[in-house]
Structure 1
Amino acid sequence: MARARNSVSPLLTLVALVVAIAALHLAKEILLPLALAILISFLLTPLANRIERLGLGRVFSVISVVGVTFLVLGVLGYIVTGQLIELGVQLPSHRERLIAKVQQIKPESRVLEGITKTLEDVESAMKQDRPGGDRTDQGQTKATGDEPQPDDAESKDPDKPASPPPSPVDELRAHGVQVGGETSWLGDLERYFRSSTVQKEQDAAASDAGPPPVAPVPVEIVGTPASPLRQVLNWLGPLASPLATAGVAVVLVIFIMLKREDQRNRLLLLFGSTHLHATTEALTDITERVSRYLRMQFLINAGYGLAVGLGMYLIGVPNAVMWGVLSFSLRFLPYIGPWLSAIMPLFISIATSEGWTQPILVVVWFTILELIVNNVAEPLLYGRSTGVSGVGVIVAAVFWTWVWGPIGLVLAMPLTVCVVVMARYIPGLRFLTVLLGDEPAMSDQERVYQRLLAGDVLEARKLLLERLKVSSLAEVYDQVLLPALTFAEGDRHAGLLHEEQEDAIEETARDLVEDLGEAAEAKHREALEADPEEAIAVAAGERATNLRVLCIPLRDEADETSALMLKQLLDAEGIAVEMPAAEALTGELVDWIVSLKIDVAVISVLPPLPTRSSRLLCRRLRERYAELPILVGFWTEEPPEEVGRQLCAGDGEVIGTLAAMVERIQVLATHPRIAEKVG
């Protein structure tokens, strides 16, 4: 049952996430104003609290802060809209100048001319394809008065009516008969014959061809002019949704700020009284992180927008106020905002300026501002991290833009901070903290062990040497390398490592210890060269310390490696150390105490716990040498008392770190009995 329950849990988490994402998308019209209102209340609540502390009341403080804030936003929006309209009217007049500058960049290129000509050809073809054709082209022949004359081919066209046959009067004239004038009876007869013949031919042609074609008449459809109310509705249509969202957000901001304690208590009750402690910590963490982030981002963006507006005014770019306001607004967009705020005024400066000086100054000004903001202002003002990694910010920006559109991009960072902080306190969502959070995915000791498993000695050495730059050699051993070897010992005892991996890890660990020892010695020499007085004091201390220590590896090569680390640290302190092999027998170790004149015996043990062999060795040493100090190094942070009893059964002292072991041996060196013997 437990296994089935564990296998179902990830599936339920996945289903819950899918349902939550679908709900976020479908309920966008409701959740978007609510999210805006909550984040704006985070930003405005500190100011309202300060006004309320002056004794002006909560209602007045909230209404005044919210009213002034949205009034300022409305005025800035009105100014930007007016300047945008002005820019749209003036921009076409700079078309030729912009084309000329593009040609200056690449004068031999005809791409721009080709594009322009192609667009003109397309426009001409569209005009010719319209029904009725082009009226100007239709009337061109009449306007010129040059009517084409038919040629021989056209005169033989069968579709054209034939010439009328000769009349009797024409035949008389053809035979040389003189016919009287137009007023004679023969003239009347001629006209009669001609008119009757032509009329008959026209009637016959009309009966064969049907009714005469009617010339097309152009028709233009003219709509009824819209009423003033309809015109206003058409103008407000695209603005209806943003205005409605803003209006709902304003109302929600007011009510959230007026009843913030009540809303907080209801949210705590929603998670249950049994989780009151965790919920309180989560809400406090979210409030501090989001409030600080929004306040600092507002200050940074406001200063950035002011600097942009002032710079554009001094450089001479038109509509400087608009560029300042847009830069302030666009910097709320992660990553793409600063680029957009710089590209638009740069394009306008190219289009409106005579030369290239102004665009170059714009690029230089934005570069200086970005360097100052990214390297000075943001680290100074943001202080503690928001808890979201760089990759997490990009993923969040894409996700919230997909869910809620452009407004989601603005809200991406604050919302992601809330999600990451809440995921720390909800076990089922802990993976979101791992994926999106800025905490290291693995600790240094885990990274070193993973690199040892992968056979990547170079990266393991690089990590340890980087840590050595900011820590002592004992700290590097205690906090990184010994825990990594403990992981290896645990996997080895569990049968998870094959023989080749065991040999490679043991050999690599010894090489790393030698490299770290040499690096620490070089670091120590550099420090002494920088401070000669310290060098003299260290040399005197080394000459005065003649203690002899026997460092015994208990079981295997892993214990031998840890003993080698301790030997390095003691050698650096001027303490003589003897270290037998791990295969040495207990009897041999007992005899070494006398032959080598040992003052302190140290047993090096790397977890997991070897109870029997360590107790046996401690008892043999204590039976033979009652006054000999016996120290057991069980290399964990804080070994419990029960572990000490299991390791030495009261015959020795258990110590958990190499640094503490070195300090303890130095203290023993000052013991009167040992000091007298050493002296």
Structure 2
Amino acid sequence: MHDDTNVIMMKSPHLPVPTVAILPSPQPIARLQAGSILGAGCLLTALHFGRPVLQPIALAAILSLVAAPLIRALCRLGLRRLPAMVAVLLLSGACLAGAGLVLAFQLVAVSAELPQYRAAIQRKAETLRAAVERPFAHVQAGLDAVAPLAPAAAPPAPAAQAAAPAPPTAPTAPAALAKLAGLAWGPLGETGLVLVLLMFILLEHESLQDRLIRLAGQAEVSRTVRALADAARGVSRFFFCQFIVNTVFGAAMGLALWAAGLPHAALWGALCGVLRFVPYVGALAAGAAIACFAAAVDPGWSLTLSCLAMFGALELVVAHLVEPKVYGLSTGLSPLAVVVSALFWGTLWGPAGLLISTPLTVCLVVAGRHVGALEPLAILFGQAPDVTAAQRFFQRGLSGETGAILRDAAAMLRRASFARYCDQILLPGLALASSELRLGLIDGAQREHLRRAVAEVAETLAPSGAAPVRRRRHVSLLDANVGAHLRRLREARLGRWQGPLDVPQRSIVLCAGLASERDELVGELLARALREAGVDARSVALPLPHTEHDAGKAALVSTVFVPYPLAEELETWRRAVAALRVLLPGALLATIRLPGDEAAGPAPAILSAADMDLRSFEECVAFVAPRRTAG
């Protein structure tokens, strides 16, 4: 053993990073070119002007994805595809028609009661108008008091001279029927067209799937099948979750309105559930209808305000807490993507586009996971960006967001060890930093942020033990060896030898490495991971000084872990290991070669000097902890 405080800290403009497994970084998205911009413009133009043709096809295709799971379920029960399809369509149509008839009769009953509330509605409308106009009247009076007098206006013409409006003529019955038929013909005709397209899509389901696979090419069969399955699963899951959420919302709203004393509470609850299928606009329409009816039936304002308060509170909870989680998890879309998709498709295709905005975006995001040209959509609108934990650590380290790093690490350490955190996040994240350092892409401030993040993560998540010593709150690590810095902190807490020497034989594990930034950081992190597992681990720098070596203490060391050397350090490493063998003849020597260490030296020359070759911190902990327990 020796005094590591005599080791000279290496000063380097580079970050102390181990050459560990470099995770594959995501490929950069191709830069926008004139052709891409022109193609996107042509696509948007086609979507806008092709709305009469594309909208029914999109509606039918999405409804086919919704009906497909039900048809498959009936087919598994023994029905053939055609009877199963007819049964699903008839059952769905019957349910919709029944619900529509019940709501229609309820609305007729409510409309029949409205005339008796006409006086109350007019009185409250006048009250609201006066309340709104009163502030503007005060402002206008103040402006008139300071403004110069305007020329007097001409007196109004006598009432007798004014042209009397012609009395309105009551429409005849045939004219009223013709007007009603004209209003209903558009929606009914479009609905019929969608149903016809839906039937043909369901009938030609397998044929259409084969055509899409053939269009994608025989080399992309598995990817195409997976994309179609993901799209169908995402759309079906979205509509199922939307049905559950809106049904619960309608039931809860109906109960709340009934408790408040509003007549026909079941009708208004059902109307809330139905209108919420139209994003954003439907909820506003339902709230306005409830407020108007409550104002009509109540002489005062208490019922109206209480109904609005209950509706607003429930809508805020569902819209901001329930729906982002449920819809995001069920569709794979981020909450922002749901809002943006509603704005985009609603602008292009109106109410129908608003209704199917989320399913259409789900299909585009699924396609973006499998088609390179649409990959930006999957990255921008997906529920979770395709960023690994190691990449997130690296990005936050560059920005100096140490608090966010510590929160994520603490969450992981509640179910895993510090060794696993190092293997899966910390060391791979530093490897990403190493690759960018070699390219000169990291500036001095970012290097200091990374050094500080590594030091604080090690000190917070795997503390040295014993009583902490007082130190400056802000420690500049820009020109410091982080591994040596962390070891000095532990020496200040535990003493010169990082712990007592009156311990059982073969109970100490050394984490040794060359006096370089890379090796000392790996050794110190490994020592802290082993200490977390209950192992008496201590980190040292090679070569061990002969002057401070005590042959009587050599038997205390059972194992020495040494990082795999880089190619340019091979000869220095071999001399240090040979000296280590002389000083600690009874210790087992194990190298740590982490996966992807491409800059390492030749394996035969290294393995011949070591007893074992391990690949991760977790392997080191698993190897040493049982030996220590047995000893």
TM-score by length of 1: 0.68
Alignment of 1:462-501 (within 5 A): 462-498=407-443, 501=446
Q: Which residue of 1 aligns with 2:526?
A: 566
Structure 1 residues 443, 50: CA separation in 2 closer, same or farther (over 3 Å shift)?
A: closer
Whole-angstrom distance in 2 between the partners of 1:484 and 1:318: 62
Which of 584, 589, 592 lines up with 1:633 in the alignment? 592
Contact kept, 8 Å, 1:639 with 1:656, in 2: the verdict is no
Report SS of the residue matched to 1:240.
helix
The letter of the residue matching 1:604 is P
CA RMSD in angstroms, aligned pairs only: 4.4
Structure 1 residue 325: deviation in Å? Answer: 3.8
Q: Does residue 611 in structure 1 map to residue 567 in structure 2?
A: yes
Contact kept, 8 Å, 2:507 with 2:558, in 1: the verdict is yes
Whole-angstrom distance in 1 between the partners of 2:174 and 2:543: 104
Q: Which residue of 2 aligns with 1:526?
A: none
Q: Does residue 602 in structure 1 map to residue 541 in structure 2?
A: no
Structure 1 residue 246: deviation in Å? Answer: 0.7
Structure 1 residue 290: deviation in Å? Answer: 1.3
Alignment of 1:72-111 (within 5 A): 72-74=95-97, 76-77=99-100, 79-80=103-104, 82=108, 86=112, 92-99=118-125, 102=128, 110=134
Contact kept, 8 Å, 2:566 with 2:601, in 1: the verdict is no
Q: Does residue 660 in structure 1 map to residue 619 in structure 2?
A: yes
Structure 1 residue 557: deviation in Å? Answer: 2.0
Structure 1 residue 396: deviation in Å? Answer: 0.8
Whole-angstrom distance in 2 between the partners of 1:455 and 1:447: 12
Report SS of the residue matched to 1:497.
coil
Q: Which residue of 2 aligns with 1:235?
A: 180
Whole-angstrom distance in 1 between the partners of 2:182 and 2:505: 89
Q: Which residue of 1 aligns with 2:606?
A: 648
Deviation larger for 245-254 or 47-56: 47-56
The letter of the residue matching 2:532 is A
Structure 1 residue 504: deviation in Å? Answer: 5.2
Structure 1 residues 466, 252: CA separation in 2 closer, same or farther (over 3 Å shift)?
A: same
Q: Which residue of 2 aligns with 1:26?
A: 49
Structure 1 residues 441, 376: CA separation in 2 closer, same or farther (over 3 Å shift)?
A: closer
The letter of the residue matching 2:569 is S
Which of 552, 557, 566 lines up with 2:517 in the alignment? 557
Whole-angstrom distance in 2 between the partners of 1:431 and 1:520: 47
Which of 382, 388, 394 lines up with 2:339 in the alignment? 394
Contact kept, 8 Å, 1:619 with 1:648, in 2: the verdict is no
Alignment of 1:15-54 (within 5 A): 15-52=38-75
Structure 1 residues 377, 489: CA separation in 2 closer, same or farther (over 3 Å shift)?
A: closer
Q: Which residue of 1 aligns with 2:5?
A: none
| Cα-to-partner distance string for 1:184-215 (whole Å, 9 max, x where unaligned) | xxxxxxxxxxxxxxxxxxxxxxxxxxxxxxxx
Which of 234, 245, 251 lines up with 2:196 in the alignment? 251
Report SS of the residue matched to 1:602.
strand
The letter of the residue matching 1:42 is L
Unaligned runs of 5+ in 1: 1-5, 116-127, 140-217, 523-541
Q: Does residue 276 in structure 1 map to residue 299 in structure 2?
A: no
> Which one has a larger percent helix, Structure 1 or Structure 2?
1
Contact kept, 8 Å, 2:334 with 2:381, in 1: the verdict is yes
Structure 1 residues 495, 425: CA separation in 2 closer, same or farther (over 3 Å shift)?
A: same
Whole-angstrom distance in 2 between the partners of 1:52 and 1:495: 61
- Identity across matched positions, percent: 25
Structure 1 residue 514: deviation in Å? Answer: 1.1
The letter of the residue matching 2:603 is R
Structure 1 residue 502: deviation in Å? Answer: 3.9
| Cα-to-partner distance string for 1:21-50 (whole Å, 9 max, x where unaligned) | 222222111121112212222333333444
Structure 1 residues 228, 334: CA separation in 2 closer, same or farther (over 3 Å shift)?
A: closer
Alignment of 1:374-393 (within 5 A): 384-393=329-338
Q: Which residue of 1 aligns with 2:151?
A: none
| Cα-to-partner distance string for 1:305-327 (whole Å, 9 max, x where unaligned) | 34444554564434545423431
Whole-angstrom distance in 2 between the partners of 1:7 and 1:45: 36
Q: Which residue of 2 aligns with 1:421?
A: 366
Question: Which structure has the bigger radius of gyration?
Answer: 1
Unaligned runs of 5+ in 2: 1-28, 140-154, 468-501
Structure 1 residue 602: deviation in Å? Answer: 1.1
Q: Which residue of 1 aligns with 2:484?
A: none
Structure 1 residues 93, 643: CA separation in 2 closer, same or farther (over 3 Å shift)?
A: farther
Report SS of the residue matched to 2:529.
helix
Q: Which residue of 1 aligns with 2:13?
A: none
Contact kept, 8 Å, 2:510 with 2:561, in 1: the verdict is yes
| Cα-to-partner distance string for 1:524-549 (whole Å, 9 max, x where unaligned) | xxxxxxxxxxxxxxxxxx98895222
Whole-angstrom distance in 1 between the partners of 2:138 and 2:267: 34
Structure 1 residue 565: deviation in Å? Answer: 1.4
Q: Does residue 317 in structure 1 map to residue 262 in structure 2?
A: yes
Q: Which residue of 2 aligns with 1:214?
A: none
Contact kept, 8 Å, 1:97 with 1:351, in 2: the verdict is no
Alignment of 1:320-469 (within 5 A): 320=265, 322-335=267-280, 337-359=282-304, 361-363=306-308, 365-366=310-311, 384-440=329-385, 442-469=387-414
Report SS of the residue matched to 2:440.
coil
Structure 1 residue 467: deviation in Å? Answer: 3.8
Whole-angstrom distance in 1 between the partners of 2:224 and 2:435: 36
Q: How many residues align?
A: 546
Higher relative contact order, structure no. (Cα contacts within 8 Å, ≥ 6 residues apart): 2
Alignment of 1:55-134 (within 5 A): 57-74=80-97, 76-77=99-100, 79-80=103-104, 82=108, 86=112, 92-99=118-125, 102=128, 110=134
The letter of the residue matching 2:124 is L
The letter of the residue matching 2:279 is P
Structure 1 residues 498, 260: CA separation in 2 closer, same or farther (over 3 Å shift)?
A: closer
The letter of the residue matching 2:625 is Q
Whole-angstrom distance in 2 between the partners of 1:590 and 1:315: 85
Deviation larger for 297-306 or 281-290: 297-306
